[in-house]
Amino acid sequence: MAGPRATALQVTWLYISPDQGAQKVDKVQIGREMVVAEKSGPWIRVYANTDVQEVHDQRDAPLYGNDTPPPISGWMQAKGVVMETTPNGDQILMGAAAGQEALAEDPKGPVNAAQSARFLYRRIVEMFPNSPLAPEAAWRAADILWQLQKSDAASRPSAKERDPYMRDQMDETEMKRIIKYYPHTHQADFAAYELIDNKLCGDWQGQAKCPEKESEYYEKFADEHPDGPRTAQALYEAVYRQAVLHDMYADDNNDKKADDAKSRAHALAEKLKDHFAQSEYCWRAQSLVYKLDEGVPVYGIDMQ
């Protein structure tokens, strides 16, 4: 559709004509995708996507088929609208999105603030693809969706299932796009780390195979991203799982495997100390191996 793309920074009414006394068509929500068709003084006529088009991700598409409503059209006041021709538009949208994200963390904030932040971040990527802010905006949009889905999955009974395939999975589409389109960036490292979530057990249920596999995932990530922003955290998660394995094996009187897990925990903790000595995760790992050495249980309060 011809015309510059745009989005609104505030909830704005659409009218059938450029007059506040005219019949209202619908509300355009914050961050909604729009195309400007024409201008008339302080008014613009736009085509705006609906909530259904924005909220439902690709995973939901088959449920809706061709029933997705077309964009709505109408006139709205141009104030508070950022277009792809707006000077510093990417920075304006980034600030607005960050503001909505902060509101989402406030218990008294709007219930839809997280979605508004996500939509605004997405507009940056779409309207200003060459902006230096695009990789960060893409990551933040993907992370908001990931966290919303993760929270929803955690609230379901299946969240306690041991095997990952038995519980709801987060949609990996946007995370994988970040890795593909922004390779060798911190944002790609963040995305790769988040993808581990879908491989984790819901509940270990006392089974050693869960922390065994999870430790492998985190160690593999650390090897593939040796200097990334999540590497120290990944190494710590591996140390923790090795400490857990020590306790599990010790409880089963499998001394050899318990000793092997303890040695592996020490080796990983030393790796953390060598490369991330000033990281909180390094200190936490040192605390874990100290407990191992002192015979203090890490896993299972009933073991104490």
∠ Cα 243 246 247 (to 5°): 95
**Whether the model pTM is above 0.85:** yes
Picking from 180, 77, 51, 178, the residue whose alpha carbon sits closest to that of residue 125 is 178
Q: Which amino acid is at 134?
A: A
Give the pLDDT of residue 56: 47
Residue with tokens 């509940």: 203
Exposure of 33 in the CB half-sphere (CA atoms within 13 A): 19
Residue 54 reports pLDDT greater than 70: no
Q: pLDDT of 126-167, one tens digit each?
A: 999 999 999 999 999 999 999 999 999 999 888 888 888 888
CA dist 268 and 285 (Å) reads 8
204-236: pLDDT as tens digits:
988 999 999 999 999 999 999 999 999 999 999
Residues found in the chain: 304
Query: Does the structure show a pLDDT above 90 at 68?
Result: no
Whole-angstrom CA distances from 30 to 3, 147, 164, 265, 293 are 20, 20, 35, 48, 55
Number of separate helices (H) and strands (E) present in the chain: 11, 7
- Cβ atoms 123, 31 nearer than 8 A: yes
d(CA 83, CA 73): 17
Which CA distances in Å does 187 have to 79, 103, 134, 222?
Answer: 33, 23, 10, 15
The CA dihedral of 161, 163, 167, 172, to the nearest 10 degrees, is 150
Which pLDDT score is estimated for 71? 84
What does the pLDDT look like over 246-301, one tens digit per residue? 999 999 999 999 999 999 999 999 999 999 999 999 999 999 999 999 999 998 75
CB 56 within 8 A of CB 87: no
Q: Scan for tokens 């779409």, then name that residue.
A: 126
Higher pLDDT, 40 or 49: 40
pLDDT, average across residues 55-75: 57
Predicted pLDDT at 301: 55
What is the structure's pLDDT at 91? 98
pLDDT > 70? residue 64: no
Share the mean pLDDT of the chain.
91
Report CA-CA distances (Å) from 213 to 198, 217, 269. Answer: 13, 6, 18
N-to-C CA span, the chain: 67
Task: Check pLDDT > 50 for residue 69.
Answer: yes
- How far is Cα 213 from Cα 172, in angstroms, rounded to an integer? 20
Sign of CA dihedral 114, 155, 208, 210: negative
One-letter amino acid of 215: S
Compute, in degrees rounded to 10, the torsion defined by CA atoms 35, 171, 89, 83. Answer: 0
